[in-house]
A = this chain, B = another copy of it.
C-alpha cells in the first residue's frame, strides 16, 4: 500500500528539519527484529509502545517535553527509498528472504496512531510522553529516531528553562552555543529549543532563518585586534541621524570626547591612555552600524581602555543623534565589572547630561551556567543580558536524558519489562493520563489509568497510588482534570488529529506551564518531587502481572 504521498499531501507536513533523519537513521537491531517478526508472521501484530523517561535531569524535579513535531514529521514522511532497501540488502545475511524487502518497500505510517502530551508541556518521570500504536515491525522502526529526536530536544529545553528561572524574567537571555554544540545539528536544534525554553534570541543565523528566532551579535576580540589604530580609517564621514548634516570626521569627534572624558572630574584617574587598536575598531564598527553600536570592551582592559573608548564613541554618536546599544563583557569578574561599568555610565549621564546614558545595556558572556547566574544574583550585578553557550547547549551539567521506548501491550495483551531495579520496571497496558489540579490552581498529581477506566472527575475523590510502593497513596479531590494525550497522528484512518502548533505557540505553552507550577517543585535546591501515580485498578493489575511474570528466586 503506497499511501505515503497521499498522507503527506493531505496533511501538509514536511519531513524532519534535518534531511539526514531518514528511516535508516536507526539501530541495526530494528531491522533484524523487523525481519524476525516478518519471518514469524508477527509483523502485523498490533503493538502499543510508550516513550518515557525515568528521572528528571539536572537534579531537578521537572522536564519540558520537546521534539514532538520532528517525530510527527518523521512519521508523516516515513518511506524507504530504493537505495536504502538496496543498502539493507547488503547488511542483512544472504539467508534473508526477498519478500521481506518487498514488505519494507510497501510500509509507511498509515496504520499507526500516535498520541502525545502537547510539546512544550512540563512533564514528569514514568508518564509516557508519546504512545505509538500500530503494526509492531513498523512501530519498532520508529524507536531510535523518536527517542533521538525527543531526548536532546527535551533536555536542552529543560536546561534553557532552568537558566531562565535563575536569571529572572526581566533579563535578556541570548543563546550563543553554536560553536561548542555537539555537531552542526546540535547547534541548530539547540537554538530552536533554547528559544522554546524561554531564551529571547540566538547568534545562530541559520536557526534565525529556519525558525524565525530573533538574532543577536556584534563583534569578536579578533575584530578589535585586527585594527592597528585610527590612522587606518580613511572614510570618516557620518551623517547625522536626522539627515540634517554630516560629521566629516567622526574620528576627530570621538577623540574629542575621549579627551573630555580624560579631563572629567568624576572619571578622573580611572584611566589614562586607551588602546588605539580598540578605538579604531569601535569607531569602524560605529561607522558601519551607527544605529546599532554595541562593543565588546574586554580585549585589552575593561576599565582602563574598553569602557572609556566605548563611551567616547557613544557620546560622539549621541552628538549626531544616535543611541548606542551597550557593551559586552566576556571575561573577568562580571559582577564587579558590570557594577563599575554602571557607575561609569551614570557618572557620564550626570556630568554630561546625556539622558539614559546610565541605563546603557550591559551584556555578559563567558562560561555562564546556572551556578554562575545564581552567584551573580547573590553578589549583585548590573548585567541586563546574558549570552550563554557551552553549558547551555551541551547540557554540561547532564548531557543526556534517558528516554526509552517500551512495549506495553501486544494484540490487546498487556506486557511489562521486569527488572531487578524497580525504577526500571515499565508500567504495562495502553493507558490514559490525566493531570489533576488543586484548589489553588497548581497541578497536584499526574495519574495513569487503564484505557477503558472512567476518567477522574472534577470535585470527586479519587485514590492515587504510587505505582510500585504500596504504602504511598493519597486521596485527591481535583478541582480541574486535564487529559494529557491528544492524537497527533492517525495515519489514513481519518480520525481527527491535532494540528501542529507553531514554535511560538509551543514556547508560550512552555512558559505558561512553567509559571503554573508550584514553586517548590521548581526551586534549584532540594525541590519537592511532583507526584506521579496510577489508579487503584491499574495498581492492582500491574502487581498481578508482575507476580505472574517474575520468576521465584531460590536462596541457596
Contact = CB atoms under 8 A, between A and B. Distances in A.
Q: Which of A149, A217, A401 has the most CB of B within 10 A?
A: A217
B234 A95 contact: no
Nearest to A302: B420
A291 interface: yes
Contact of A407 (B22, B88, B208, B222): B222
A20 B185 contact: yes
Give this chain's copy count. 2
Interface string A217-235: 1111111011110001111
Interface string A191-218: 0000000000001111011000001111
Contact of A217 (B28, B156, B219): B28
A527 interface: no
B406 A33 contact: no
Contact of A394 (B20, B88, B182, B208): B182
A295 to B, nearest CB: 11
Q: Which of A156, A204, A209, A292 has the most CB of B within 10 A?
A: A209
Interface string A321-339: 0000000000110000000
B206 A24 contact: yes
Interface stretch (A3-11, A252-260, A408-416): A408-416
Contacts of A26: 178, 204-206
Interface residues of A, number: 126
Interface string A1-35: 00000000000000011111110111111111101
List the 8 closest A-B pairs by CB distance, nearest first. A185-B185, A28-B217, A29-B217, A36-B288, A399-B399, A222-B407, A182-B182, A394-B399
B206 A27 contact: no
8 contacts: A19-B19, A32-B218, A32-B285, A37-B223, A95-B289, A144-B178, A180-B402, A226-B407
Interface string A284-327: 11011111100000011100110000000000000000000000
Contacts of A419: 331
Given A187-B25, A304-B551, A289 B182 contact: no
Nearest to A219: B33
A112 interface: no
A291 B93 contact: yes
Interface in A507-550: 549-550
A360 to B, nearest CB: 19
Contact of A551 (B152, B305, B332, B550): B305
A522 B282 CA distance: 46
Interface stretch (A40-48, A102-110, A113-121, A344-352): A40-48
A331 B425 CA distance: 12
B179 A27 contact: yes
